[in-house]
Structure 1
Amino acid sequence: MFDLAEIIDIPPFSLDRQKKGELFTRALSDLTQYHQQNCHEYNQILQLLGGSKNSFSSIEDIPFIPVRLFKEYELLSVDQAEVIKTMTSSGTTGQSVSKIFLDKYTSTNQTKVLTKLVSSFTGKKRLPMLVIDTKAVLKDRNLFSARGAGILGFSMLGYDVTYALDERMELDWEQINAFIQKHKNEQILLFGFTFMIWEHFYKPLQSKGLQLPFENSILIHGGGWKKLIDEAVDNETYKKRIFEVTGIERIFNYYGMVEQTGSIFMECESGYLHSSIFSDVIIRDYKDFRSLGFGEQGLIQLVSLLPQSYPGHSILTEDIGELLGEDNCSCGRLGKYFKVHGRIKNAEIRGCSDTYAEGKK
């Protein structure tokens, strides 16, 4: 059985296509066989798809399951007694939510990998951290929402973690000003979800004509873009506007989902999302699900080496994406890089930012 310890100390964007392909084909073959043996529902799915092989010639051959299945079934590959944490996806009222069951091994690996990925952008030194959210979202430590899980996961990358919003989702000026004075002239790490930063941080600052002194700092944000696209705000506009009220130039978006927590795809300095040695991306044709080449748009399939307590190692999302290249990004990182173009038509809204925005209506 593949053990993540084999690669945990390797720099996360350092394997070329051949080396990564060999690693992933072996590791994902092991995971597929493991989940088939330990998850009854997953085994049934593979049997309906024509059975399962013990090994595969490439990662494109690894069977995938629709991400929506996690809303319909409780998929576990470990005994319920081993589950230490249950994470739920974001969902508006009336929507079903995904339930992801984590044992200690999987949860620990998620934390290790998230730390390695983000620190490769922010540096190994932990930074004072300002979370653009309310602490009230962290209510049940055993049943995490995607939003709460994201905040707690990223919070491990900083220290003196301070929340910029109060329980009414308004700027907590007392906390913010005290944080700024305490860490004057230091580099700060800011984290939040895309729409919420825009709605509850950028807009109040912009309306008051204020700029916070974060010129030397880093902002990491992720989540749905649907509401911002509706407001004609794209990634470049977002960065420009945030810069106007904070002076932050290093702004990184990330793509990920609760079904594969930890193995996120970070946006590089050139504006592209990158796979790492812990994850990969395949673009599938809408009609026959064949894998597509560079420059073709289709459904995003995500593969990850992290899920062991549940069969989430190869999932077909409801997002539309496009591969742009591999091993040749101008940022210097190896691996595939890509863009996300949105959701398939009639798909449920998902993503912490979109769900929150939808819930406000």
Structure 2
Amino acid sequence: MSVFTMDAATRSSLLLEELSSLTDFHRSHSVEYDRILTASGFTSASSVADLPWLPVRLFKNLTLKSIPDDEVFKVLTSSGTTGEVSKIYLDKHAAAEQTRRLGATLQTVLGPSRLPMILVDSKGILKDRRSFSARGAGVLGMATFGRDHAWALDPSGAPDLEALRGFLAKHGDKPFLIFGFTYLVWLHLYEVARDNGLDLSNGILIHSGGWKKLVDQAVSPAEFRRRLQADTGLTHVHNYYGMVEQIGTIFLEGPSGGSLYCPDFADVIIRNPTTWEEQPVGEPGLIEVVSTLPTSYPGHILLTEDLGVLDGIDDGDWPGKRFSVLGRLPRAEARGCSDTYREAA
């Protein structure tokens, strides 16, 4: 069943109630969060946009959690490149729920069955199962939605052409899933498939992780899709936007491409970086993401350091807001998962 069903008005009404309850819960279970809200003077909200947001960077500087230490099941870390990382604390319920909701989101484009899967990464990314980087968490999280996995990179980080050929010989004539961070997909799947005549026409690609290195190579999102189709036959391509600070919530690119969509349990607000007011369709600003999934830590309303723009409301492939990510706020820390990749020595 799709999680892209709610029009903007219905979504706003339901989210206001749920997010207000979450705000009260986190306030009563996190001393640090309560202090922040008290300092801001927040009491109540009449709209989602009035609810108090936290700067996403705050998770690099403070320990923010709404569960006792003995209930911490997993700690996730972000992919910051300056040594500062966010730490996200999950209990068993939150970890299970984020996996369930991520699965429901992906089923919209993958269907209900687990498909054979290519992971465009190296198995070495999965080292410590208690504490993951954002890249490791993303790979592990997505791996659960596939089967008969093939790793596109060998342990040294080099393309494993034989693994890809073996997978395609076995599974290439029917639908299969591909997951990888954008830059790795381009460098270690697209180029390898193009140069070796690999047929990816039955693949469904889910990818994320930033476009910085591809923009440097003059590869736009539209060019990325065009070249994959022309050179490998791959037509089912879905980018997504997400972050470890709201693990389990992803904003998925629609079938026709171009825009990202909000699942029913989440939404996006574009804010004017000077006035903090909501921006109308077509006016760029800072991206605020809201989600009902963060129950073990107060990450339900976050102001990111990413610039975006609303492309439309209730007028696309799926109901609700659709938006595009324009890039990082100037001077903001680079945090793209794929952009932290380094070639093996």
TM range (shorter): over 0.9
1:347 aligned to which of 319, 325, 332: 332
Q: Aligned residue for 2:271?
A: 284
Verify the 8 A CA contact 1:210 1:245 in the aligned structure 2.
no
Q: How much does 1:150 deviate?
A: 0.6
Equivalent residue letter for 2:325: V
Q: Aligned residue for 1:267?
A: 253
Verify the 8 A CA contact 1:122 1:218 in the aligned structure 2.
yes
Correspondence 1:172 to 2:163:
no
2:19 aligned to which of 28, 49, 57: 28
Equivalent residue letter for 1:213: D
Structure 1 window deviating more from structure 2 (238-247 vs 347-356): it is: 238-247
- C-alpha distance in 2, partners of 1:184/1:281? 37
Verify the 8 A CA contact 2:246 2:291 in the aligned structure 1.
yes
1:253 aligned to which of 226, 239, 255: 239
Q: Which residues of 2 match residues 171-190 of structure 1 at below 5 A?
A: 171-190=159-178
- C-alpha distance in 1, partners of 2:37/2:245? 19
Structure 1 gaps, min length 5 = 1-9
Verify the 8 A CA contact 1:131 1:161 in the aligned structure 2.
yes
Q: Aligned residue for 1:83?
A: 72
3-state DSSP of counterpart to 1:309: coil
Correspondence 1:223 to 2:209:
yes
Structure 1 window deviating more from structure 2 (275-284 vs 181-190): it is: 181-190
Verify the 8 A CA contact 1:169 1:200 in the aligned structure 2.
no
Correspondence 1:300 to 2:290:
no
Q: How much does 1:224 deviate?
A: 1.2
Correspondence 1:118 to 2:101:
no
Q: How much does 1:90 deviate?
A: 0.6
Q: Which residues of 2 match residues 1-361 of structure 1 at below 5 A?
A: 11-53=2-44, 56-92=45-81, 94-206=82-194, 209-270=195-256, 271-329=258-316, 331=317, 333-356=318-341
Structure 1 window deviating more from structure 2 (114-123 vs 174-183): it is: 174-183
- C-alpha distance in 1, partners of 2:160/2:217? 26
3-state DSSP of counterpart to 2:138: helix
- C-alpha distance in 2, partners of 1:324/1:243? 24
3-state DSSP of counterpart to 1:299: strand
Deviations 1:96-140 (A, max 9, x none): 001000011111110011001111011112110010100000000
Equivalent residue letter for 2:27: Q
Q: How much does 1:173 deviate?
A: 2.4
What TM-score do you get using the length of structure 2 for normalisation?
A: 0.96
Verify the 8 A CA contact 2:76 2:133 in the aligned structure 1.
yes
- C-alpha distance in 1, partners of 2:247/2:37? 23
Shift in CA distance, 360/75, structure 1 to aligned 2, threshold 3 Å: farther
3-state DSSP of counterpart to 1:86: strand
Verify the 8 A CA contact 1:214 1:246 in the aligned structure 2.
yes
For the aligned residues, what is the CA RMSD?
1.6
- C-alpha distance in 2, partners of 1:254/1:90? 17
Q: How much does 1:360 deviate?
A: 8.2
- C-alpha distance in 1, partners of 2:197/2:191? 12
Equivalent residue letter for 1:236: A
- C-alpha distance in 1, partners of 2:120/2:295? 31
- C-alpha distance in 2, partners of 1:68/1:83? 21
State the percentage of identical aligned residues.
46
